Amino acid sequence: MPADLPTPTISKNDQYQDLSKVLTDPRRIIPIRGASESAMAASNNFLVVFTDNDISMFNVHFCEKKYNKWNDGSIVDICFCSSDIGFVLLTVSNVFIFSARNHNHINVATIQPFEDKTFSNCTSNGKSLLISYRIPGTPIDEIDTSTWKLKKRWKSPNICNCDEYISRLRYSLDFSEIGIIVYLRPRIRFQLCDSNMNTLRTSGNLYDIPFGDFGRGYFEEELTAKGRTLAFVVDEAAKGIVNEGTALGKAVEAKWLAEQLLGVKHHADGIEVSGRCWTTLVPSAIGETCIYLYTKESFWYKLLNRVMRDPFTITRKHVTSLGPFCWLLYTYLPQRSNPSVEIVYRGLTLTEEEREDFMQDMFFTDFTSTSKNREKSEQFGNTLLVIGNLRYAGGDIAALSDFPDEEEFLLYPSTHFECCGYEYYDVKKKHIIYFEWAG
């Protein structure tokens, strides 16, 4: 961190750091090729990043050192082990040692998945490597890095309950503690353990809100039993757009978006927020403006989707800055219900492992765009999602979208779908997965 930037402050109870006042220095920002969701890890000398089947390495001056094509399976996590060993690259079924100095990687064949399960997360203190799995009630394997053999297997319920998953696994900076993010949809919690996996403390739930559901989180934190008006929420939504846009260097764009929302604020005059989360009647002028702004090509929808798709990084700042807009949009969407829409489609690119995950459980944490037009959706990716039974799953926004030709149907965040079929359409080289709303 540059010396001229403010340092984080430690709370009185020493349980968290307040990062809200830490400024981002544009000189310390670098573009990274590939997808927004990537595995990365750093040592004192290198940053290693995996995106779109490539490995990038950057030195302490943020100069890119090497750009390697990776052909050994999608990397799900990366951690730094030690200066002698280098980095550990974790795929769904293999562990690799990777040197950022000479760019070589070696498959550690002695490490095999537990009962042929899928690897999920890894972290290391140099002497031990911890690995978790993408299964409920996952064990954590402790590997001795001097022999690369299993040292101990920590099992449920010491780590998590039999129906819970682990999403993040990290040693602390001094290696004395292990941070674990555990989830059972739609709830998540953080727990801190010692080296023997004894729980030191737990957060219970992060803000006690469902996955990525900023709307509900904002309602419970800022609106419940506080006598707020709808006009207040519109003001807060506009402020959130301006603040987030300014932080991203999009102040002019953010100001224009906020002005569109403030321009219909008078429609909220005299309306009090209901005591129940989604029962306030949002006037059409305000709801339609929210839909228009969300569907418009801008930093705003990209920011909302990026943050909501990774609910484990939720902060209170997100709840207060993104929450008002999300609550307005979610609360209005039921007014756009359309019983005549029985099936919607979404085209996307998935790996084989990702398709298998989708067929087990599909749970969108963000507002998710789909189309009523199958032909248009088939133009994207190698996989087509066919989603039916939409009675309470979202709203028809085609007539209000900034892109009406897309025939858009917007799904609510935290919506759960169950897989009810699969086929491969050889003519179009397309995987087709069928889903129904599961409530």
* pLDDT at 57 (0 to 100): 84
Query: Would you list the DSSP string of 41-66?
Result: EE-SS-EEEEETTEEEEE-TT--EEE
How many structural domains compose the chain?
3
Rounded to whole angstroms, the Cα distance separating 192 from 103 reads 34
pLDDT interval class at 14 (50, 70, 90): very low
* pLDDT at 9 (0 to 100): 40
For the full predicted model, state whether its pTM sits above 0.75. no
Do 258 and 225 lie in one domain? The reply is yes
Q: Which strands, in side-by-side order, build the sheet including 119-124? A: 119-124, 128-133, 140-144, 149-154
Rounded to whole angstroms, the Cα distance separating 79 from 101 reads 16
CATH label of the domain that carries residue 84: 2.130.10.10
Do 231 and 361 lie in one domain? The reply is no
pLDDT for 225 beyond 70 = yes
61 contacts 2 by C-beta, under 8 angstroms: no
Do 331 and 419 lie in one domain? The reply is no
In a domain, 96, yes or no: yes
* pLDDT at 38 (0 to 100): 56
Per DSSP bridges, beta strands 394-396 and 408-411 are antiparallel
* pLDDT at 316 (0 to 100): 72
pLDDT in tens, 265-323: 999 999 999 888 778 899 999 999 999 999 999 999 999 988 887 765 666 788 889 99
Provide the residue count of the chain. 439
Percent pLDDT > 70 in the chain is 85
> Which of 183, 205, 227 delimits the end of a domain?
205
> Which of 272, 304, 336 delimits the end of a domain?
336
* pLDDT at 343 (0 to 100): 93
* pLDDT at 3 (0 to 100): 36
The separation between CA 157 and the C-alpha centre of its own chain, rounded to angstroms, equals: 26
Which residue range(s) make up the domain with 409?
343-437
> Which of 293, 312, 336 delimits the end of a domain?
336
Do 310 and 352 lie in one domain? The reply is no
pLDDT in tens, 351-403: 888 888 778 777 777 888 999 999 999 999 999 999 998 877 889 999 998 88
pLDDT in tens, 79-110: 999 999 999 999 999 999 999 888 889 999 99
| Highest mean pLDDT, choosing among 48-52, 220-224, 270-274, 290-294 | 290-294
Do 186 and 296 lie in one domain? The reply is no
The residue ranking higher by pLDDT, 155 or 78, is: 78
Do 347 and 332 lie in one domain? The reply is no
Do 397 and 368 lie in one domain? The reply is yes
pLDDT for 180 beyond 60 = yes
pLDDT for 40 beyond 90 = no
